[in-house]
Amino acid sequence: MNTNILKSELPSAATVKSATRVLEIFEYFDEVRRPVTIQDVAQALSYPHSSTAALLKSLVSLGYLEHDDRGRTFFPSIRISLLGNWVEAEALPIRNVQRLMRRLSADTGCTIILAARLGNHAQYVKVIQGTSPIRFHVKPSTRRMLAFSTIGRVLLSELPLLEARRLIQDALAAMPERRASTQEIEDELQRIRKRGFALYSDLVTPGATMLAMPIPTGPSGRPVAIGIAAPKEYFRSRKQTFAELLKNAIAEHISQNGQSPKETLGDVDQLEGDDDIAP
C-alpha cells in the first residue's frame, strides 16, 4: 500500500465532519425506525438546519434515502438494507441478535447495548435506549476502554491471556489515574470467565450499573457482548431478574443458531450480594 499521500488528497475537516454526520443520520434512523423530517434530525442530532437539509437531500440524490413530498419526510431506501447483507454470513446472525435486544428492552425497560472490540476499546455497535422513568442515554459508536468498562471486560475475558494482558497494560499506561494493577484486572477477568458475566456499578458512569455477558459467534466471528444498563437504584432490586432474562435470551439465541452453550453461562446465584467493586 502506498503511504505517500499528498496533502491535497487528505480529506478536509469539513469532509470528515460530513461523513460523521451521514453515519449518525443512518444510526438515528436505526433508532427511531420511522420517516423523519429535517427538523426531527436537526433537533435529535444538534445539527444546523441548513446542513441537515443539504445532507438529507444529497442522500436522496444518491439513492440512499427516499423523500415524501407530501409529508416532507425522509426514510432509508432499499439500497441501505442491501449494503451490509454480506456481513451477516461473516460475523453473526444479526437479525437474531436484534430480536434478542428488542426482547430484553421490552422485558427490562433498560438500555440494551451490543458491543464489539475495536483496538483497545469496546465500541457500542447497536444501542436500544431505555424506557424506564430514570435512564441513561448513550449513543451508538460510543467507545469505552476495554479494561475499565463492564462490557469491555467481558470482551477482554474472551481473548487469550497474553493478548488481554497487553491490552490491560496499554490501558493502564493511558489512564494511570485508575490506580489498578495488571494482576488485579487479570484476576477480575478470571472471575468473569468463571461466572460467565460481569456486573459493576460506577465503573464508567457514576450511579450506573451494567450487567454484561458474551455472545458466542462461532470460530470465524469476532467476540461481541451484550449489556443491560440502568441507574444503580433501578437495577439493585432487579439484578437477579435481569440476569435470568439475559442468560435465557442468550441461551435461546445460541440454540437457534446451532451453537453449543458454554459450561458456565451466568451463575446467577452469585448476584444476591452487592455489585462488584472493581479495581
pLDDT at 271 over 80: no
Contact between residue 82 and residue 76 where contact means Cβ atoms under 8 Å apart: no
Q: Which three cell numbers stand for residue 190?
A: 478470571
Report the pLDDT value the prediction gives residue 260, as an integer from 0 to 100. 53
Predicted confidence (pLDDT) per residue in 34-91, tens digit: 999 999 999 999 899 999 999 999 998 888 888 888 889 999 887 776 676 665 555 5
- Chain segment 58-74, per-residue pLDDT in tens: 998 888 888 888 889 99
Mean pLDDT of 184-207: 93
pLDDT of residue 9: 40
In what helix (H) or strand (E) does residue 145 lie, and over which residues does it extend?
strand 143-145
Return mean pLDDT, the chain.
Answer: 81
CA geometry: angle 181, 113, 236, nearest 5 deg: 70
Q: How confident is the model at residue 10 (pLDDT cuts 50, 70, 90)?
A: very low
Q: How far apart are CA 3 and CA 47, in angstroms?
A: 34
Please tell me the predicted confidence (pLDDT) of residue 167. Answer: 95
Using the predicted structure, report yes or no on whether residue 229 has a pLDDT greater than 80.
yes
Per the listing, cell 470467565 goes with: 193
The whole-number average pLDDT for the span 158-178 is: 92
pLDDT in tens, 113-139: 999 888 899 989 888 988 877 667 787
